Amino acid sequence: MPISDKPLLRVLNGESVWPPPLWLMRQAGRYLPEFRALREKADFLTRCLTPDIATEITLQPIRRFAMDGAILFSDILILPWALGQSLEFIEGRGPVLPPIRSATDLDRLDAARVPERTAPVMEALARLRATLDGDGSIGAAKGGAVTLLGFAGSPFTVACYMVDGGGAREFPATRSMAYRDPALFDRLIDLLTRTTADMLCAQIEAGAEAVMLFDSWAGLLPPTLFRRYVIAPTRAIVAEINRRHPNVRIVGFPRLGGVMIGEYARETGVNVVAIDTGADMRMATSLIPPHVGVQGNLDPLLVVEGGDVMVHEAKALRDSMRGLPFVFNLGHGVVPQTPPEHVGALVEAVRAV
pTM: 0.96
Residue 93's pLDDT band (cuts 50, 70, 90): confident
Note down the domain range covering 47: 3-351
- The phi, psi pair for 134, rounded to 5°, reads 120, 0
Exposure letters 162-173 (e unless 16+ CB within 10 A, then b): bbbbbebeebeb
Rounded CA gap, 142 and 346, in Å? 18
Is 74 annotated for ligand binding? no
Q: What is the pLDDT of residue 3?
A: 58
Banded model confidence at residue 142, pLDDT cuts 50, 70, 90 = low
Contact 286, 267 (CB under 8 A): no
Helix (H) or strand (E) holding 280: none
Sorting pLDDT into bands at 50, 70 and 90, what band is 143?
A: low
C-alpha–C-alpha distance, residues 349 and 343, integer Å: 10
Residue 31 burial (CB count, 10 A): 21
Q: What per-residue confidence (pLDDT) applies to 180?
A: 97
Q: How far apart are CA 274 and CA 131, in angstroms?
A: 27
Residues assigned a catalytic role: 26, 30, 39, 75, 161
Q: String of b and e for 36-53 (b: at least 16 CB within 10 Å)? A: eeebeeeebbebbbbbeb
What mean pLDDT is predicted for residues 292-308? 98
Instruction: Determine how β-strand 94-96 pairs with β-strand 210-215.
Output: unpaired
Query: Is 342 annotated in some ligand binding site?
Result: no
Q: Which of 115-124, 141-150, 256-265 is predicted with the least confidence, judged by mean pLDDT?
A: 141-150
**What is the average pLDDT across 325-347?**
98
Tell whether 322 is in a known binding site: no
> What one-character DSSP code corresponds to residue 17?
-
DSSP 138-189: HHHHTTT-PEEEEEEE-HHHHHHHHHHTB--SS-HHHHHHHHH-HHHHHHHH
CATH code at position 7: 3.20.20.210
pLDDT greater than 80 at residue 331: yes
Question: In angstroms, rounded to a whole number, what is the distance separating the alpha carbons of residues 265 and 287?
Answer: 8
332 marked as binding residue: yes
Number of domains in the chain: 1
75 labeled part of a ligand binding site:
yes
